Amino acid sequence: MKPVAIRDLCISFGAVQVLHDVTFDVASGESFGLVGESGSGKSTVLRCMSMLQAQWTGDVIIGSQSVREMPLNARVRTVQMVFQDPYGSLHPRHSVATVLSEPLRIHGLDRQRARMEQALIDVGLPVDFLERFPHQLSGGQRQRVAIARALILEPEVLLLDEPTSALDVSVQAEILNLLARLRSEKGFTYLMVSHDLSVVDHMCDRFAVMQAGRIVEVLDRAAIPSNAATQPYARDLIAAS
Ligand code: ADP
Ligand code: MG
């Protein structure tokens, strides 16, 4: 568990500036939400933090180290990401064992079968799923594998980009409960993007509201039921939920 400090994060695609001086802090072990309308830059923030996007300016500091300065093998056990679409982490032609071995390999470890089996047990899947391929799994099972892959090295920080939006409603709650249980068992800081304020209310201690690439306001979870936002945009967003 480490704290995260995001400082003056800016990124442009061509002539379009998509993030404008995004600055906020997430405390060690905190569960933090990021909300805002589609296109406001939420996924881009996470992609910059995990260095899937590299051409940004500003800083992302985890613990005392900038993610930019971390070699890949240190970064994989510091920050991991789960995508809205489980295929963001799963290659359609790679078995679950291959998917789970990838972070181990980057970290210089062998294909440790016991560790891969434990990762599946942790997310509530049977160990013989190591031999399965993504098309042999349900959407919820695929997302469990993506979570197992993200947590296999016990990272300090987990980035979750709408991790349940692509799933059936009945499966969404299962995955959210799994994430809450894993956080309390393993201890990691998480940053969850969601467009659903009821999910943020359920899952996050605090959250930031984004609009057009800027952080409008950072609020406590209690601000949702009471609508204690001071910025008009944040107040309207909460009122509309
Ligand atoms: P959100 O996750 O809040 O819906 P995104 O971070 O995905 O928003 O996108 C923010 C804006 O940046 C959008 O206008 C999107 O089209 C643009 N954008 C994101 N990634 C790229 C990219 N690689 N190239 C060009 N534009 C991009
Ligand atoms: Mg997005």
Residues of the chain with pLDDT under 70: none
Q: How far is the CA of 45 from the centre of ligand 2 (A)?
A: 9
| Residue pair 21/183 in contact by the 8 Å Cβ criterion | no
Query: Residue 89 CA to chain centroid, in angstroms?
Result: 12
Crossing angle of the two packed helices 139-151 and 169-186, in degrees rounded to 10: 20
Instruction: Tell me what pLDDT residue 195 has.
Output: 85
CA distance 27 to 47: 20
What is the predicted ipTM? 0.98
DSSP letters, 191-227, are EEE-S-HHHHHHH-SEEEEEETTEEEEEEETTHHHHT
Question: Residue with the nearest Cα to atom 22 of ligand 1?
Answer: 13
Q: Is the CB of 38 under 6 A from ligand 1?
A: yes
Q: How far is the CA of 126 from the centre of ligand 2 (A)?
A: 31
Q: How many helices (H) and strands (E) does the chain have?
A: 9, 10
Instruction: Tell me what pLDDT residue 110 has.
Output: 79
Question: Residue with the nearest Cα to atom 6 of ligand 1?
Answer: 41
Instruction: Tell me what pLDDT residue 1 has.
Output: 83
The predicted-structure confidence for 7-43, as pLDDT tens digits, reads as follows: 999 999 999 999 999 999 999 999 999 999 999 999 9
Q: Which residues pair with 158 in a beta bridge?
A: 80, 190
The predicted-structure confidence for 98-129, as pLDDT tens digits, reads as follows: 999 999 998 888 778 999 999 999 999 999 99
Instruction: Tell me what pLDDT residue 166 has.
Output: 87
Residue type, 125: L
